[in-house]
Structure 1
Amino acid sequence: MLELEFMTIEAWDEALWARMERIYHEAFPRGAKTKAILRSMLDRGIGYLHTGVHHGEVVAMAVTGLVGNGADRMLIIDYLTIEQKLRGSGIGTWMLKQLRAWALREHGIKGIIIEAESGTTEAHQERIQFWQHNGFVLTSYVHQYSMVPEPYQAMMLSMDESTHVPDDGEKLFRYIQAFHKVAYRKS
């Protein structure tokens, strides 16, 4: 695997965004949060940008946010992508390890939550398998957003034995929706 440097950005950096924007739009060409929304999330202290950098080039990026308080604190991975030509090389797993270590060290999280498209295509199944390979548990509840055509399922990685993944996933979507509500708020 490539030698990478992990960085977390808490304040908007236009030059860094210019270096990561290409892989963000490559992975999420439709429906992803706009630059203005991402910038607002960082400006308001509710989101983080993370990068994996190889020889000055951004080859991996993630957008995260925190929800819950104290013993309920969870990290939401809103987006995670690897440069297309490097997928399957272990960088995604490396990024997850870096995100986990950062979130435990800086925020004492109890779990990491993601939402995965709930489809039957090969691409959908490969994404779910990636998360499962990295310890995430797929919940059975299928959530349908009113503004998005595809359904989603929540997945969670517990950080300790005392934090259990809910059986049906509806509780996890309450975390996800709370994060989205704050992320899309104007101020």
Structure 2
Amino acid sequence: MTLTLRTWDSWNEEVWQQIKPIYEEAFIHGAKPEKIIRQMLDRKIAFLHAGYEGDELVAMALTGLGRSDQQQTMIIDYMAIRHDRRGRGEGRLFFNILRDWGIAHHRIDAIIIEAEAEDTQENRERIIFWEKCGFLPTSYVHHYIWIPETYRALVLPLQPDFQITDDGQSIFAQITDFHERSFRKQKSNTLTDSNKNKV
């Protein structure tokens, strides 16, 4: 099984219409509206990724770069495998391709994700998946003011000198900053990519 990655750092309507069914099926609750994703790309604070087997679209992801004085981090905002392709190992394969892309194009020191912290079977399975990918859960549980669910950060260190110096609140500060930039009304150009549109 071989997956190839294509990445866009600006809005592409044709590509979005292909990716949208995977996104909407996987993220029924908590998904960012399409107009927010569009403005994230327009503002250069996010990347839209698609994973293909040959010409067949099987996976999608939305990522961005965290802002930290010490390390360069990549935040995985959303990642999903097409529902009829799950359970075949393609989730880990697609994640590994995303990780390698982040290292090659942005020299990232770590990858950050957030997962729902409530102790349910579905949430446990999701965290187990990320742990199998090498992520370490932090103990801090974050309460957003606008949604009832609580979230926990998970971190995948990619450099031996990457340190988490607290219970995960500093990691969540990067996630919160990313979300605030995503929804902010004024323009913000905080992310550039030398390989514009398709990497």
TM bin (shorter chain):
over 0.9
**3-state SS of the aligned residue for 1:157?**
strand
Q: Is the contact between residue 41 and residue 47 of structure 2 (CA under 8 Å) also seen in structure 1?
A: yes
Deviation string, structure 1 residues 60-115 (Cα, Å, up to 9, x no partner)? 10000002257421100000111112112111111111111111111111100000
Deviation at 1:35, TM superposition (A): 1.0
Cα drift, residue 165 of structure 1:
3.4
User: Take 2:4 and 2:179, find their aligned partners in 1: how far apart are those partners?
Assistant: 29
The yes-or-no answer on 1:108 pairing with 2:111 is: no
TM-score norm. by structure 1 comes to: 0.94
What is the Cα deviation at residue 8 of structure 1? 0.9
Q: Which residue of the partner structure matches residue 56 of structure 1?
A: 55
Q: Which residue pairs with 1:12 in the alignment?
A: 11
1:175 aligns with 2:185: no
* Runs of 4+ deviating beyond 3 Å: none
- Does 1 or 2 have the higher relative contact order (CA < 8 Å, sep 6+)? 2
- Which whole-Å CA distance do the structure 1 matches of 2:30 and 2:131 have between them? 24
Alignment pair present for 1:89 and 2:73: no
Are 1:155 and 2:154 matched, yes or no?
yes
Which residue of structure 2 aligns with residue 38 of structure 1? 37
Mark the runs of 5 or more structure 2 residues left unpaired by the alignment: 188-199
Structure-2 change in CA distance of 1:83 and 1:96 (3 Å): same
Q: Distance in 2 between matches of 1:145 and 1:111?
A: 23
Does the residue aligned with 1:173 lie in a helix, a strand or coil?
helix
C-alpha distance 128-167 of structure 1, shift in aligned 2 (>3 A): farther
Which secondary structure does the structure 2 equivalent of 1:72 belong to? coil
- C-alpha distance in 2 between matches for 1:94 and 1:18: 23
SS class of match (2:63): strand
Asked whether the 8 Å contact 2:36–2:183 carries over to 1, the reply is yes
After TM superposition, give the deviation of residue 167 of structure 1 in Å. 4.7
> Secondary structure of the equivalent of 1:141?
strand
Deviations 1:132-174, CA, capped at 9 Å, x for gaps: 0000000111111111111100000001110023451111100
1:94 is aligned with what amino acid? L
Which stretches in structure 1 are left out of the alignment for 5+ residues?
Answer: none
Work out the CA distance in 1 between the residues paired with 2:165 and 2:147: 24
How is 1:117-156 mapped onto 2 (pairs within 5 angstroms)? 117-156=116-155
Q: Which amino acid aligns with 2:24?
A: H
Aligned match of 1:78: 77
Aligned length: 186
Partner Cα separation in structure 1 for residue 69 and residue 170 of structure 2? 17
Cα separation, 2, equivalents of 1:135 and 1:4 = 20
Instruction: Measure how far apart 1:118 and its partner are.
Output: 0.5
In the alignment, which residue of structure 1 is the partner of 2:26? 27
- Indicate conservation of the 8 Å contact 1:49/1:62, yes or no: yes
Distance 1:130-1:167 versus aligned 2 partners, 3 A rule: farther
Percent identity between matched residues is 42
